Every structure is written in structure tokens, then in C-alpha cells.
Structure 1
Amino acid sequence: MIRVKEPGLLSTVQDEGRHGFQQFGVITSGVMDPFALRIANLLVGNDEKEAAIEVTLTGPTIEFEEDALIAICGADFSAVLDEEPLPLWRPVVVKKGSTLHMKFSKTGCRAIIAMGGGLDLPFIMNSKSTYVRAGIGGFDGRAFDKGDVINGKPLSKTSSQIVRSLTKKTRKALTAKWSISSVYLAELYNRKTIRVIKGRQYDDFSAESQQDFWNEQYKLSSQSDRMGFRLNGPNLERIVSEDLLSEAVAFGTIQVPSDGQPIILLADRQTIGGYPKMGQVASVDLPALAQKKPGETMQFQEVSHQEAQRLLLKREQDIRELKWIIDKKN
């Protein structure tokens, strides 16, 4: 059981999303950084898809009312446990009565707090993800507020094994000496460019706009949220005047409305869209995209469908190898 003493800017429960209901107008939602969610869950012995707490820009303060196993992955919020710095990307046993405090994000934008056993919350349409606008999923369909109490589920066999391997010390923070490679994480997150596949209406834009899209930088607007990143940069001019039929959109679809400024659709995107699609962010770069802060710039790099698929398969192989290493460590 945990008690929220301060909720932070936006702390919600998220998992891999609410799949299979878009034909009924229900959005997918889900975690913004899927890599951080999967690794955080593996570190505490959970299934990769288990729901966890996603925090944004300013982290929460949480009191643990019973012993727990946690892992924090994603952005660096200068987390401390009872005034002791808490490292990222590794399992930590937290003793009853301890308080976790996460400050402003030092690098990145979002972090995941996974708890061994998972969160004891109901499934709504096969998911625990919070969609705040509709008030469904997660903790009462909303972001955490001061005083909220969230129950955890019992530790799994794997989680219990991890706890046993870490409880040979006497400090409150029983932290693994090992963690996910910082070199690997830097390669994944510290990208100068975001790889993009050409969209269905790419050829509807002028040659100059196409060049600007690949060669110029775009700044992330402060008017961005989990639904979409609004970008400020060179206007993209569509030279085809016909209206478009609305069609399905995905996490990472880059639409261009009439003002010429691109919008990247994200986890809380609508189910269909009628704006022309300039591109689609390669799935392998969605974690890096999710960690962008308002005011930061990004540049796009063209990648083929085949290369994007190869990169995603390589990422999946990396995760399988990381899972094998984590299992061996415990």
C-alpha cells in the first residue's frame, strides 16, 4: 500500500494500452514510454505489460505503508528515498515507513515507477490505463491527488526471489549493485534525430516543404500533452486541394493541419484523423520521442519501412537479452 503525499504535475496509472476497442471510438491510451514500462516491470519480476505509475515533469512524493519492491525507469527526477539518492534502472527494496520524493525532471520528461506484484486496480476494457478526459481506468479515472491510497498486489514468485537477493543489507534502501547499461540507454534516448517513415500523403506536399521537413528543426510547443506534440517550425504546404476521408491513426502519426505546423499524435490520440499525414515515427524511436520536453527541438530522419522493421526487431531482441540478464542477476 502506498499513500500519495504530493501528486506531482501529472501522475497516472498506465500500462500498454486499451487495445481492440478503437472501432467503438475508444482510444488506446497507455504509457508514453513503452520501453521504460517494460524494463521497469522486468526489474521487479512483473509481466512486461503490468500497470505502473507514469510521472511527468514534476514527480510525486509517496509514502510506503508496507514493504515494497520498486524500480524507476525513464527520466531522471533526482529521486530520493528518506533523503538518500535513489538510482534508476535497477530494483530497490523499500521498507515500510519510507518516503520516496521525486523532484523536477533533470533529464527527460517522464518516468515509470513499477511495483513488484503490480497495482491492485480493476481492468476497464482489458486495461488499467488512465484516460483522464473520459474519466476511465487507472485510479478512479483520474490523475493522483494528495491523500490517495493505492494498494499493491502480492509479490509474484519472481518478485519474491528478487527481494530475497537484495535483503542481505540493513539500510532502508536495499538497492541492486547492477543496473541497465548507461551506454545502451544513452544510445536509445539521446538521439539527435527522430526516425520517420513517409506518410500516406507525403507526396501531397510541395518539394520545398518536403525538404524543410527533413532538413529543418522543429520545436516542441508548450501546448502539448499526452494526446499530441504540437511543433513549431517551417510551414508545410499541401499542394493538393482535395479533402481527405478520415482514417485510422497510430502512436507517432505526424499530421499537418491547415496552419502547416505538424502535430505528432501520441498515447491519448483520437481513433481516426482527417488531416494529411506527412510521416509516421518509427516505433523504435517512440521512447526517445516521449522524453522530449516543451521547448526542446527535434529533427526528422527518413527511414524505410524495411529498416524501421529491422530496428524494431533488433530492439525486441535487446529486450529479450536484458530479460535473460536480469533473470541471471537474481
Structure 2
Amino acid sequence: MHNLIDITSDLRAGILIQKAGIQTTVQDLGRRGLRHLGISQAGALDATSLILANKLVGNPEHYAGLEIVIGPLQIVFQRATWFALCGANFAAELDGKLVAKAWRHFAQAGQTLCLQGAQKEARAYLAVDGGIEVESILGSRATDLQAGFGGHQGRALRKGDVLTLGQPRLFKRSVGVLQRCWTPEIRAIRGPEFAQFNSCARKKFWQQAWRVSSQSNRMAFRLEGDKLERESSSELLSHAVLPGVVQVPASGQPIVLLADCQTTGGYPRIATVIEADLWKIAQTPIGQHFCFIEVDLNTAIAAQEKWQRELRRMDSMEYA
């Protein structure tokens, strides 16, 4: 239990990256409403974990934080800072003292936070009070690695980078929230071209366990399993695609589109992962298996509304 902390020194100071890990990026909730211009959404792959971390440190949910994929990550806080880690359970220490995920923690100026490999799941999210204040481009601070803009110089972080923090907050104590439990079942609804696949392929899609390929990235997760065959070999006209859409190219191996995906595509869409379960895709490690569970549109809407109610409940909690 901390006493009321007096934030002093340079309030605009930031965090120094001493070890950057692999593909650590600045992300917020991404760019919305620009797909008709060919601009991808980008943003946190597991948006709900970033939202939880932001709420723990008193930020609006859209504030920018760090998406951490593979350690080691080592950062030095240049001002007194409240921070929270959500998502994957990385081995984390603050000046050698273990740090629990899904809790708000306090760091003095000069203290070092170290994250090693994830013990479970794939991506962790670090939020700091005031958020990370890189330049906002097209209404977002998210890093678009494919287009090379946003975030910090449009790229993954490197040793020696310094990120400016926003206005600090005052809190009296640490606090935590309940975390979601990852399960190997991901809910999806049928896609527009579902009926174009033969009966065997339609059954296989829902019944078999799909393995996440090492060829996966922030644009899409490529899956490995039995080949899915279409009844028709005719080509499709290009159409709009969104994160969560499951395409099936000529190889017959599904591709689940993620936040950095293109805005149009021509592969048949066999299914779409519901929004409430997109975080499960992001948190599935390379080489791990999962199954798709078929649900209808009403179930998808209800699942998202349930999550929104949980967020509103958090807003009503006293964190100060």
C-alpha cells in the first residue's frame, strides 16, 4: 500500500528503452473510418488488454501504450510513474522485485522495469499514467509497420529510444482487475463464401484443431491443417476485408486477418471471428492449436455487449 505519491521533477520526461525486445511497438486502438482510403486500422492486436491496462492507470482507453511480443524488454522510467501490465504473463521485475500483471504499480524516477519471455499467451501491454505521447497521425498514435508510419518513427522500438509521457496522475494505492482466461476455442460466424466450400471442408473448418504457423505476423495469422476445398474454382471480385475475416487462398490453409491487414482482398471468406474473441487470436502463440466454434450473429452481438458492460463496471470502480 502506497501513501499519496507526489509526482515531481520533469513532468514531461519519458521512458528510456535499454533493451527493445523483438517487435515492441507503440500502439493505441488504431485508425478507424479510413479503410476506404486504403489505410489499415493498425493498433493493438489485443485491444482489450490495452484498454484494461489504461483503465488501471487512469487513462482514457484509447491512450497509447506498448505492445510487447518477445523479450527481453528493459526500460528506465525518467519520472515517477504508475504503470500496468496486461495480456500475456511475462516474467516482469522492477529493480529485481517481481511485478504482477493486471495490477497498477508505482515506479520511482530512475527505476528499471525488465520483462523476459511470456510464460503464457503471446503479447503483453504496458500502459503508463498519461500515456505515451508520440505524434498523432490520422487520429491515432498506432504504429503501422507495413506502411512505416505512426508510433515512434513508424517502426519497432530500438535500444536508446526515448518516449515522452503525458501528464502524470496521483493515486493513493495499487489496485488490480480480473483477467480473462485464454481458451483454445474461438467463436466465429459463417462468412459470405462459406457455402462455396464442399461439405467436407465445411465440417473440417469447425471440427479440426488449427495450428498457428510461424509465417504469422500483425497482418494475419496463417493456419495449418487439412486443406479446405471449394466446390467452385471461379475467381472472386475484390471486396472489403476487416480484422477477424478468415480467408482461404488456393493453398486451402485459412488466414485470419488482424489489425494491420489490407483493406481489400479477393480470397473467399469462410468465416469471421467475432469481435469479443479477436484478443484470443492475438494471444495464441506460434505453434499452438485452437478450434473455431460456430455461433450466430446474435451471439456475437451479445458477447460484445457483455464485454462493454464489464468495461462500464470498471469505470464505476474507485481507483483513486
User: Same fold by TM-score, threshold 0.5 exceeded?
Assistant: yes
Q: Quote how far apart the aligned CAs of 1:258 are.
A: 0.2
**Counterpart position of 2:247:** 255
Letter in 2 for 1:37: L
Task: Note the 1:154-169 alignment, pairs <5 A.
Answer: 154-155=167-168, 159-160=169-170, 162=171, 165-166=172-173
Letter in 2 for 1:97: G
Which of 293, 298, 308 is the matching residue for 1:306? 298
**Counterpart position of 2:208:** 216
- SS of equivalent residue, structure 2 residue 315: helix
- SS of equivalent residue, structure 1 residue 88: coil
Q: Quote how far apart the aligned CAs of 1:150 are.
A: 0.8
- SS of equivalent residue, structure 2 residue 117: coil
* Identical amino acids, percent of aligned pairs: 36
Contact 2:141/2:150, CA 8 A, preserved across alignment: yes
- SS of equivalent residue, structure 1 residue 60: strand
Contact 2:56/2:176, CA 8 A, preserved across alignment: no
Gaps of 5+ in 2: 1-13
- Counterparts of 1:206 and 1:35 in 2: how far apart (Å)? 36
Q: Quote how far apart the aligned CAs of 1:59 are.
A: 4.2
- Counterparts of 1:59 and 1:26 in 2: how far apart (Å)? 31
Q: Quote how far apart the aligned CAs of 1:60 are.
A: 1.1
When residues 75 and 59 of structure 1 are mapped into structure 2, their CA distance, relative to the original with a 3 A threshold, is farther
Which of 121, 131, 135 is the matching residue for 1:108? 121
The one-character-per-residue Cα deviations of 1:220-265 (angstroms, maximum 9, x if unpaired) are 0011000000000011101123211111111110000001000000
Letter in 2 for 1:269: C
- Counterparts of 2:53 and 2:133 in 1: how far apart (Å)? 17
Letter in 1 for 2:183: R
Letter in 2 for 1:222: S
User: Are residues 1:140 and 2:156 paired?
Assistant: no
- SS of equivalent residue, structure 2 residue 116: coil
Letter in 1 for 2:242: A
**Counterpart position of 1:170:** none
Contact 1:67/1:94, CA 8 A, preserved across alignment: yes
Letter in 1 for 2:289: T
- Counterparts of 1:59 and 1:252 in 2: how far apart (Å)? 29
- SS of equivalent residue, structure 2 residue 256: strand
- Counterparts of 1:107 and 1:319 in 2: how far apart (Å)? 24
Contact 2:90/2:119, CA 8 A, preserved across alignment: yes
**Counterpart position of 2:11:** none
**Counterpart position of 1:131:** 144
**Counterpart position of 1:270:** 262
Which deviates further from its counterpart, 256-265 or 232-241? 232-241
Instruction: Give the TM-score taking structure 1 as reference length.
Output: 0.91
Task: Note the 1:310-325 alignment, pairs <5 A.
Answer: 310-325=302-317
User: Are residues 1:204 and 2:196 paired?
Assistant: yes
**Counterpart position of 2:7:** none
Contact 1:11/1:59, CA 8 A, preserved across alignment: no
User: Are residues 1:31 and 2:44 paired?
Assistant: yes
**Counterpart position of 2:9:** none
**Counterpart position of 2:61:** 48
**Counterpart position of 2:225:** 233
- SS of equivalent residue, structure 1 residue 23: helix
Which deviates further from its counterpart, 260-269 or 130-139? 130-139
- Counterparts of 2:28 and 2:78 in 1: how far apart (Å)? 23
- Counterparts of 1:144 and 1:75 in 2: how far apart (Å)? 19
Gaps of 5+ in 1: 167-175
Contact 2:198/2:231, CA 8 A, preserved across alignment: yes
**Counterpart position of 2:177:** 180
Contact 2:220/2:255, CA 8 A, preserved across alignment: yes
Contact 1:59/1:77, CA 8 A, preserved across alignment: no
**Counterpart position of 2:85:** 72
Q: Quote how far apart the aligned CAs of 1:181 are.
A: 2.2
Contact 1:73/1:112, CA 8 A, preserved across alignment: yes
- SS of equivalent residue, structure 2 residue 205: helix
- Counterparts of 1:72 and 1:59 in 2: how far apart (Å)? 15
Q: Quote how far apart the aligned CAs of 1:10 are.
A: 1.1
- Give the structure with the larger helix fraction: 1
- Counterparts of 2:149 and 2:36 in 1: how far apart (Å)? 18
- Counterparts of 1:26 and 1:319 in 2: how far apart (Å)? 28
Which of 96, 99, 102 is the matching residue for 1:89? 102
The one-character-per-residue Cα deviations of 1:161-218 (angstroms, maximum 9, x if unpaired) are x2xx03xxxxxxxxx2x42125xx22xxx22310010000000000000000111111
Which of 17, 35, 39 is the matching residue for 1:4? 17
Q: Quote how far apart the aligned CAs of 1:19 are.
A: 1.4
- SS of equivalent residue, structure 1 residue 19: coil
- Counterparts of 1:139 and 1:108 in 2: how far apart (Å)? 25
RMSD: 1.0
